[in-house]
């Protein structure tokens, strides 16, 4: 079967099905430290039966946090705290675990979304932000500091240091956050990158930071473990990134050894004009797949199992990442398996809780048979 419940092997890692739990910031860490919320949140998603669980955007240095509540992986303490979460997942599930590494650049030092999400001034406990150019995200906000070449190299090295920590924690896969208006995307997009050195101007130059980080991380990351990248395939702004540029970026990433690209969109500017609709970013994933042959992940308003199965069977994407629908229903993959008559790995403690009305497919649900 080549649908949603077929396995996929990427380097040394086999995903039992094509459902990826998309990374979701929780904004409740303190000083970057994971806590019991992350254990509760991630272990429930780890027993969901999904093919891979992606841990939320994790900052490679304190200044790279979107909010003061972001997870971090920049010190022995943050490594130990995240290690406890990963141990709890491992104790209870065989799910492959990916970790998303990020730097928020000019979108750092912001309030949590439930407090409005706007920039926190330094006078109110925020911090100075950095970006490729001294261009604020929103009118009226303090401009970020343009990164010097030495600071670019320092941030690249912070990605590497976090990668070495993730390797020690035996994370199965890494994903670089290159979308949603954060630092890597700020370099990629002409909306935020106004540099006139080798990191700005042409697309080739704007990709340089991403590829330098990618290469350095790939070198530090064990060969058998996959490394993917999440991109914003469109800025939804005239003169911004579009899918043609994204295909070129994905092609370069493939040449550098990337294992997958997730095609998200938006986040670079409040001027963006997006009309979200079911599967609205799938055409981006389809173009990346068709034009590069990379493993392509579709994400965004994929909420229905049949829809997800169609995306895989039609060849539009190789993986589907599901975010909000998994928060709403952490048993979403059970329902999908029931609807599609598939097999799924679920702890025996839960075997008596078959999805309502699907007792007839009990024979097909070979729990724990992976």
Ligand X SMILES: Cc1cc2nc3c(=O)[nH]c(=O)nc-3n(C[C@H](O)[C@H](O)[C@H](O)COP(=O)(O)O)c2cc1C
Q: Which is nearer to ligand X, 132 or 228 (CB)?
A: 228
**In whole angstroms, how close is the CB of 216 to ligand X at the nearest point?**
20
For the chain, the straight-line distance linking the first and the last C-alpha, in angstroms and rounded, comes to 15
Q: Is 103 in the site for ligand X (CB under 6 A)?
A: no
Q: Tokens 């979107």 map to which residue?
A: 66
Q: Which is nearer to ligand X, 29 or 346 (CB)?
A: 29
Stretch that binds ligand X, among 210-218, 267-275, 320-328, 340-348 (CB under 6 A): 320-328
Stretch that binds ligand X, among 18-26, 89-97, 146-154, 235-243 (CB under 6 A): 18-26
Q: Is 282 in the site for ligand X (CB under 6 A)?
A: no
Of 288-307, binders to ligand X (CB under 6 A) are 299-302
Q: Which is nearer to ligand X, 165 or 230 (CB)?
A: 230
Of 163-182, binders to ligand X (CB under 6 A) are 177, 180
Stretch that binds ligand X, among 11-19, 23-31, 146-154, 191-199 (CB under 6 A): 23-31
Q: Is 132 in the site for ligand X (CB under 6 A)?
A: no
**In whole angstroms, how close is the CB of 48 to ligand X at the nearest point?**
14
Of 30-69, binders to ligand X (CB under 6 A) are 56-57
Stretch that binds ligand X, among 79-87, 121-129, 282-290, 316-324 (CB under 6 A): 316-324
Does residue 182 carry a catalytic annotation?
yes
Q: Is 23 in the site for ligand X (CB under 6 A)?
A: yes
Q: Which is nearer to ligand X, 200 or 305 (CB)?
A: 305
Sole binder of ligand X in the list 16, 18, 20, 22 (CB under 6 A): 22
Cross-strand pairs, 232: 264
Catalytic residue chosen out of the listed positions 182, 199, 280, 350: 182
Sole binder of ligand X in the list 4, 19, 20, 25 (CB under 6 A): 25
Q: Determine how many CB atoms are found less than 10 A away from the CB of residue 208.
A: 20
Structure tokens at 314: 């039609």
Q: Which is nearer to ligand X, 193 or 264 (CB)?
A: 264
Contacts for 106 with CB less than 8 Å, ≥ 6 apart: 129, 130, 131, 135, 136, 137, 144, 183, 186, 192
Q: Is 346 in the site for ligand X (CB under 6 A)?
A: no
Sole binder of ligand X in the list 107, 230, 289, 343 (CB under 6 A): 230
Q: Is 345 in the site for ligand X (CB under 6 A)?
A: no
Taking residues 259 to 278 in sequence order and writing x for each that binds ligand X by CB under 6 A, - otherwise, the string is: -----x--------------
Tell me the number of residues near ligand X by CB under 6 A: 19
Residues engaged in binding ligand X (CB under 6 A): 22-25, 56-57, 100, 177, 180, 230, 264, 299-302, 322-325
Query: Which residues form the catalytic set?
Result: 182
């Amino acid at each position: 079967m080549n649908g949603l419940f077929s396995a996929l092997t990427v380097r040394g890692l086999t995903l039992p099905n094509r459902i990826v739990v998309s990374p979701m910031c929780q904004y409740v860490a303190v000083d970057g430290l994971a806590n019991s919320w992350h254990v509760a949140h991630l272990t429930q998603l780890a027993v969901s039966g999904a093919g891979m669980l992606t841990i939320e955007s994790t900052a490679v240095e304190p200044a790279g946090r979107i909010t003061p509540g972001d997870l971090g992986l920049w010190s022995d303490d943050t490594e130990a705290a995240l290690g406890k979460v990963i141990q709890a997942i491992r104790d209870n599930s065989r799910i492959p675990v990916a970790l998303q590494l990020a730097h928020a650049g000019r979108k750092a030092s912001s309030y949590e979304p439930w407090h409005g999400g706007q920039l926190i001034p330094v006078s109110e406990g925020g911090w100075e932000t950095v970006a490729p150019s001294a261009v604020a995200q929103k009118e009226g906000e303090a401009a970020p500091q343009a990164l010097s070449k030495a600071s670019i190299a320092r941030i690249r090295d912070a990605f590497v240091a976090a990668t070495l920590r993730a390797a020690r924690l035996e994370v199965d896969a890494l994903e670089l956050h290159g979308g949603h208006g954060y630092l890597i995307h700020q370099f990629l997009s002409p909306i935020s990158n106004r540099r006139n050195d080798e990191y700005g101007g042409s697309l080739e130059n704007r990709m340089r930071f991403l590829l330098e980080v990618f290469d350095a991380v790939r070198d530090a990351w064990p060969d058998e473990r996959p490394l993917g990248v999440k991109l914003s395939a469109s800025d939804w702004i005239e003169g911004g990134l579009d899918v043609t540029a994204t295909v070129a970026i994905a092609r370069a990433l493939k040449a550098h050894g990337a294992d997958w690209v997730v095609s998200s969109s938006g986040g670079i500017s409040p001027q963006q004009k997006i009309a979200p609709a079911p599967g609205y970013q799938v055409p981006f994933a389809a173009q990346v797949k068709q034009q590069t042959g990379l493993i392509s992940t579709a994400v965004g308003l994929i909420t229905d199992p049949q829809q997800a199965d169609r995306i895989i069977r039609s060849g539009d994407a190789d993986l589907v990442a599901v975010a909000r629908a998994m928060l709403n229903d952490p048993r979403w993959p059970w329902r999908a398996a029931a609807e599609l008559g598939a097999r799924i790995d679920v702890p025996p403690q839960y075997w008596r809780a078959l999805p309502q009305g699907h007792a007839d497919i009990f024979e097909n649900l070979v729990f724990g048979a992976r």
